[in-house]
Homo-oligomer: A and B are copies of this chain.
Amino acid sequence: MDAGTVELVETKLDQAESRLEALDIDCWLTFARETSEIPEPALALILGADVVWESAFLVTASGDHHAIVGRYDADPVEAVGRYEVHTYDESIRDPLRDTLEALDPERIAVNYAENEQVADGLTHGMYRRLCSLLEGTDYPGRFESSAPVMGYLRHSLTDLERTRMKRAAELTEELLAEAVEAWEPDWTEARFADFLHDRMREDGLESAWSWDGCPAVDAGSAAPVGHTHPGDRTVPPGEVLHVDFGVRYEGYASDIQRLYYRSHEDEAPPADLQAAFDDVRAAIEAGKAVLEPGVVGHEVDAAVRTAITDCGWPAFEHAAGHTVGRNAHDAGPLLGPRWDRYGDRPERMVSVGEVYTLELGVETEWGYLGQEELLEVTDDGATYFLPPQTALRTLE
């Protein structure tokens, strides 16, 4: 296990303990199996390894760490050095029940969450299995979601995590600069994406979201917008290339959108295009102006939404921003409207040290003008985590 992972696990276990204590939760239980098929996001933070057989990790507010794992999974867990390891061959039932009975926690936070996907690693089949293993005990009745613990661990970034994210963001810009430098007028969206994919493979970088849709590349006004896969459109002269892209560096993601104008007979961009670009830019600035510790997610969304609709544009049909961390869409507050599908996440408060996107776009006759910037919340406001795009860049 590399030194970075050891440091991360140490810090996150400490964060977990203090968070459990603050929430008056006695025990955090993570139950998982075969995590190379369906990953349990907690294990990257509190273990740094995968498990194969049914495994339970119990972290208590008083600083106990128990790992109940199959015989052949024990070695990497022992190597972490932070768990009392209980192994089994045929069934996890007895050691799991014995450990719970010894701790006898009143409140048990379990790895599921309706409104926090990164804290929702427990599958429903595994939940049923867990209840069946504990049949006849009071423990299933004491279960609650561990989202307040796990979400906290995900969006409370350590220096190491922030350093990795900064590098991911820089690499994203660097690769985009290379792609734009190499660009030729006959490049399709797919060719642009292939260039980035080739460079990512060379540098051993993963995509920040699904490989086929990262980057999303929209060439000109004919391109559909969203989590699309790059197609065979080229950028018509006088129109705009829109790219939504992020890489993952040592487990940490980036997520930005950038705009490039393909000039038409060397003319500058039309004034109306420039004005539309500026409207989007100003809406991001409006969001930045209210982003600070204590603000509630939907208030930031409203600032961005009002700024763009006040310019006469239609409202965007998504949240104005989200946390970034291990995933491009990470845990914690959402800078989004109070829509059903967002649950309580727009009601949550922003905290210092979190990294957010601010993003929106408008559809124009030159293409989709989407911009997305990364910002870090400071003691009294927010600063750009990566220099923002302040002007249309040119493809040539």
A residues adjacent to B (C-beta < 8 A): 1, 33-39, 41, 49-54, 70-76, 79, 88-93, 112-129, 132, 145, 201, 204, 209-210, 212-213, 224-229, 317-318, 327-329, 339-341
Note all chain B residues with C-beta closer than 8 A to A93: 340
- The CA of A79 and the CA of B213, in the complex, are separated in Å by 13
Closest Cβ–Cβ distance, residue A229 to chain B (whole Å): 5
Supply 23 A–B pairs (Cβ within 8 Å), ascending by A: A33-B117, A37-B327, A49-B210, A49-B213, A50-B213, A50-B227, A53-B341, A70-B341, A71-B317, A73-B227, A76-B228, A89-B317, A90-B339, A91-B339, A112-B125, A114-B125, A114-B128, A114-B132, A115-B125, A117-B125, A120-B124, A120-B126, A201-B201
Contact of B53 with A118 in the complex, beta carbons under 8 Å: no
Closest B residue to A116 by CB, please name it.
B125
Specify which of A117, A128, A129, A204 lies most central, judged by the most chain B CB atoms within 10 Å of its CB: A117
- The CA of A38 and the CA of B224, in the complex, are separated in Å by 26
- The CA of A49 and the CA of B123, in the complex, are separated in Å by 21
Given contacts A37-B41, A38-B121, A340-B90, contact A74 B226 (CB under 8 A): yes
Closest Cβ–Cβ distance, residue A252 to chain B (whole Å): 13
Note all chain B residues with C-beta closer than 8 A to A112: 123-125, 128
- The CA of A115 and the CA of B132, in the complex, are separated in Å by 12
Closest B residue to A318 by CB, please name it.
B72
Contact of A79 with B128 in the complex, beta carbons under 8 Å: no
Which of B38, B75, B92 contacts A228, CB < 8 Å? Answer: B75
- The CA of A53 and the CA of B343, in the complex, are separated in Å by 12
Specify which of A71, A114, A204, A329 lies most central, judged by the most chain B CB atoms within 10 Å of its CB: A114
* Chain A interface main SS type: loop
Note all chain B residues with C-beta closer than 8 A to A89: 317, 339
- The CA of A252 and the CA of B54, in the complex, are separated in Å by 23
Contact of B329 with A34 in the complex, beta carbons under 8 Å: yes
Contact of B38 with A39 in the complex, beta carbons under 8 Å: yes
Note all chain B residues with C-beta closer than 8 A to A33: 117
- The CA of A122 and the CA of B225, in the complex, are separated in Å by 28
Note all chain B residues with C-beta closer than 8 A to A75: 224, 226-229
Note all chain B residues with C-beta closer than 8 A to A34: 117, 327, 329
Note all chain B residues with C-beta closer than 8 A to A132: 114
Contact of B49 with A209 in the complex, beta carbons under 8 Å: no
- The CA of A339 and the CA of B94, in the complex, are separated in Å by 13
Closest Cβ–Cβ distance, residue A25 to chain B (whole Å): 17
- The CA of A93 and the CA of B342, in the complex, are separated in Å by 12
Contact of B317 with A118 in the complex, beta carbons under 8 Å: no
Closest B residue to A50 by CB, please name it.
B210
Closest B residue to A229 by CB, please name it.
B76
- The CA of A145 and the CA of B227, in the complex, are separated in Å by 30
Which of B70, B76, B123 contacts A124, CB < 8 Å? Answer: B123
Note all chain B residues with C-beta closer than 8 A to A54: 341
